[in-house]
Amino acid sequence: MTPELTALTLAALLQVLQFAAYSITANRQVGPETALGPRDAPINLTGTAGRLQRAMNNHFEGLILFTIPCVTIALTNQSTAFTAACAWTYLLARILYVPAYALGLSPWRSVIWMIGLIATALMLLASLT
């Protein structure tokens, strides 16, 4: 497996952990009756639960974009030390992003997010060569 696909798989596992953290905090906030209910009305989470939900949703968006260069690089045998470094940078940024968002660390949350986006963009550009 290429380093890029390994980083992608670990990023997907990070998403699972984010979902678990969000679910636990959300259930604590709204209670089991609401969590297990039909959710016909939108549930507005606040505090840590809301921030973990937004961080999780943000990673879904980033993960879609990150998947494209990972798969393209693997399928075209273009894995290099540079693309591997970008993939690991993305993963590290996403790992740091979760606590930065959950703790409301501004502006660091945005700086960390931008590092992940730049790493993804560089991988996209590298996959075109």
| Residue 43 is assigned to a structural domain of this protein | no
Do you find a cis peptide bond into 99, omega within 30 degrees of 0?
A: no
> What is the extent of the structural domain holding 10?
3-31+48-127
Within-domain flag for 41: no
Cα–Cα separations (whole angstroms), residue 88 to 16, 27, 52, 115: 18, 32, 22, 11
Residue 90 inside a domain? The answer is: yes
Task: Please check whether residue 114 lies inside any domain of the structure.
Answer: yes
Q: Return the pLDDT at 2.
A: 97
pTM: 0.93
Domain count, the chain: 1
- Whether residue 74 lies inside any domain: the answer is yes
- Using one digit for the tens of pLDDT, what is the confidence trace for 72-95? 999 999 999 999 999 999 999 999
Question: Does the residue 39 lie in any domain?
Answer: no
Helices 47-75 and 81-102 sit at what angle, rounded to 10 degrees?
Answer: 170
Q: Which residues 6+ apart lie within 8 Å of 124 measured at CB?
A: 68, 69
State residue 58's pLDDT score: 96
Q: How confident is the model at residue 125 (pLDDT cuts 50, 70, 90)?
A: very high
Average pLDDT over residues 44-57: 94
pLDDT (tens digit per residue) in 90-115:
999 999 999 999 999 999 999 999 99
Cα separation, 120 vs 88, whole angstroms: 10
User: How crowded is residue 102: how many other Cβ atoms within 10 Å of its Cβ?
Assistant: 21
What CATH number is given to the structural domain containing 122?
1.20.120.550
| pLDDT at 40 (0 to 100) | 84
The reply to whether 103 falls in a domain is: yes
- What tens digit of pLDDT does each residue of 3-36 get? 999 999 999 999 999 999 999 999 999 888 887 7
Residue 40 maps to a domain = no
- 37 band by pLDDT with thresholds 50, 70 and 90: confident
